[in-house]
Amino acid sequence: MDFELEPEHIQIRDTVKKFCEKEVIPFAEEWEKEEIFPLETIRNMGKLGFFASPFPEEYGGTELGFLANSIVAEELGRASLGLACCLNMQSGTCPMTILLNGNETQKEKYIPGIISGELLGCFAVTEPNAATDMAGIETKAIRDGDSYIMNGSKLWITHATVFDAGICFAKTDPSQRHKGLSAFIIEKDMPGLSARAEKDKLGVRSSDTGEIVFEDCKVPEENLIGEEGQGFAIAESSLTYGRANIAARSLGIGQAAVDAAIRYANEREQFGKKIGSFQMNKQIIADMVANTEASRLLVYRASWLQDKGLPSANESTIAKFFASEAAVQAVIGAAKIHGAYTYSSEYVVARLYRDVMLMTAGEGTSNIQRIIIANNALDLNK
């Protein structure tokens, strides 16, 4: 067993850190306040290869692997969770679904553009009446000659109003639940597709989120991924990677909370002493540090397994569950250390507080991760 990062991992961490210090952190508060979607920054991240590490060279990837991808997610999550939301669309579930399940034409057509940041991706599952219950999806895609006619709507979709091409799940057989689901590649210019932004969100306001509506939208048959009825299995295949990715972003925001708490505890004085010298504050900081370190080990283990091509679904689920819950606790800890100044825009902790809850909801809520972990432990998934 070796806990050392490889030199290429250290190099990518340093590159992303420097990028964040110069191009993200100075602007993050303004992006959040003004709901600015930082398109140029995302394009620059693409040019620097930040999205390309898990992908083969033949599709424009750098083949640096999943651990490298998690390190990028961690550092971006630490700098701006709003910006880091784009990662899943540019290097996670969206292009990974095509890599794992698409045909050669689909891979060549979409993956290079998405992982280079030239095209923006999306991954549309959630609907007004179907979120955790994916099999309850009501959007229909009914075959009509050499196309499918799609009707329905998707809610809370990252990149809804800015995406170029992405994945959408719809029922090709509405009489079935899981077995009726299929996966499609959608493009923003398809006739019958429209989008509306979800404005004034609580957090991650620099991330574009919204509704995508399909009204007799014509989707060519060549945009079906795999076969009709395979949608649920296709979603599951890429969610393993999506969960490791969101776990890494959670680790990043947790680390940002630790950094903020330590900085403030070493600066603020009460009773003539630094507040970090008080036993009860030390306990808060110790819990935050220990849980964040444990998150890091879980995230890196899941990513390492993925790099080795070993099964990682359960480990990714454990990492996602633990790291997202630990991040929430770390942000609460940072808020306690900051006291009244949590409410000041002078400190980063207010932004962390608004952003962090998304980590326990996206890619399956904590309840769902618990159910999967328990079912695996109890051998009930067979």
Ligand X SMILES: Cc1cc2nc3c(=O)[nH]c(=O)nc-3n(C[C@H](O)[C@H](O)[C@H](O)COP(=O)(O)OP(=O)(O)OC[C@H]3O[C@@H](n4cnc5c(N)ncnc54)[C@H](O)[C@@H]3O)c2cc1C
Q: How far is the CB of 125 from ligand X (least distance, A)?
A: 3
* Stretch of residues binding ligand X (CB under 6 A), selected from 57-65, 119-127, 178-186, 287-295: 119-127
Which of 59-83 are b and which e, b meaning 16 or more Cβ less than 10 Å from the residue's Cβ? bbbbebbbbbbbbbbbbbbbbbbbb
Q: How far is the CB of 35 from ligand X (least distance, A)?
A: 12
Instruction: Determine whether 190 is exposed, middle or buried from the number of CB atoms within 10 Å of its CB (0-12, 13-18, 19+).
Output: middle
When the beta carbons of 19 and 321 are compared against ligand X, the nearer one is: 321
Integer CA distances (angstroms), 177 to 137, 152, 173, 219, 328, in order? 8, 16, 8, 21, 34
Residue of 74, 75, 127, 363 with catalytic role: 363
Q: How far is the CB of 281 from ligand X (least distance, A)?
A: 31
Q: How far is the CB of 290 from ligand X (least distance, A)?
A: 26
Size of the site for ligand X (CB under 6 A): 17
Q: How many residues does the chain have?
A: 382
* Stretch of residues binding ligand X (CB under 6 A), selected from 1-9, 104-112, 121-129, 170-178: 121-129
User: 354: which 2 tokens?
Assistant: 């608004």
- For residue 262, give the nearest of 350, 330, 346 by alpha carbon: 330
Residue 74 is among the residues annotated as catalytic for this protein: no
When the beta carbons of 276 and 362 are compared against ligand X, the nearer one is: 362
213 binds ligand X (CB under 6 A): no
Q: Exactly one of 158, 172, 238, 369 binds ligand X (CB under 6 A); which one?
A: 158
126 binds ligand X (CB under 6 A): yes
When the beta carbons of 126 and 139 are compared against ligand X, the nearer one is: 126
Q: How far is the CB of 199 from ligand X (least distance, A)?
A: 12
Cα distance between residue 156 and residue 130, in whole Å: 11
- For residue 326, give the nearest of 231, 232, 247 by alpha carbon: 247
- For residue 329, give the nearest of 303, 359, 301, 364 by alpha carbon: 359
When the beta carbons of 361 and 373 are compared against ligand X, the nearer one is: 361
Q: Exactly one of 16, 96, 124, 299 binds ligand X (CB under 6 A); which one?
A: 124
Q: How far is the CB of 171 from ligand X (least distance, A)?
A: 15
When the beta carbons of 86 and 319 are compared against ligand X, the nearer one is: 86
- For residue 183, give the nearest of 233, 218, 111 by alpha carbon: 233
123 binds ligand X (CB under 6 A): yes
SS3 of 250-289: the string is HHHHHHHHHHHHHHHHCCCEECCEEHHHCHHHHHHHHHHH
Q: How is residue 81 annotated by DSSP?
A: H
User: 248: which 2 tokens?
Assistant: 């890494």
User: 285: which 2 tokens?
Assistant: 């900081």
| Contact predicate 93/238, CB 8 Å | yes
Q: Exactly one of 31, 55, 156, 184 binds ligand X (CB under 6 A); which one?
A: 156
132 binds ligand X (CB under 6 A): yes
Q: What Rg do the C-alpha atoms of the chain give, in angstroms?
A: 21
When the beta carbons of 72 and 125 are compared against ligand X, the nearer one is: 125
If one counts every other C-beta atom within 10 angstroms of the C-beta of residue 304, the result is: 17
* Stretch of residues binding ligand X (CB under 6 A), selected from 156-164, 232-240, 270-278, 320-328: 156-164
Left if phi > 0, otherwise alpha if psi is -120 to 50, otherwise beta: which for 68?
alpha
Q: How far is the CB of 358 from ligand X (least distance, A)?
A: 5
Q: x/- site string to ligand X, residues 351 to 380, per CB under 6 A?
A: -------x--xx--x-xx------------
209 binds ligand X (CB under 6 A): yes
324 binds ligand X (CB under 6 A): no
Cα distance between residue 286 and residue 217, in whole Å: 54
Where in 69-108 is the site for ligand X (CB under 6 A)? none
Footprint on this chain of ligand X (rule: CB under 6 A): 123-126, 131-132, 156-158, 204, 209, 358, 361-362, 365, 367-368
Which residues are known to be catalytic? 363
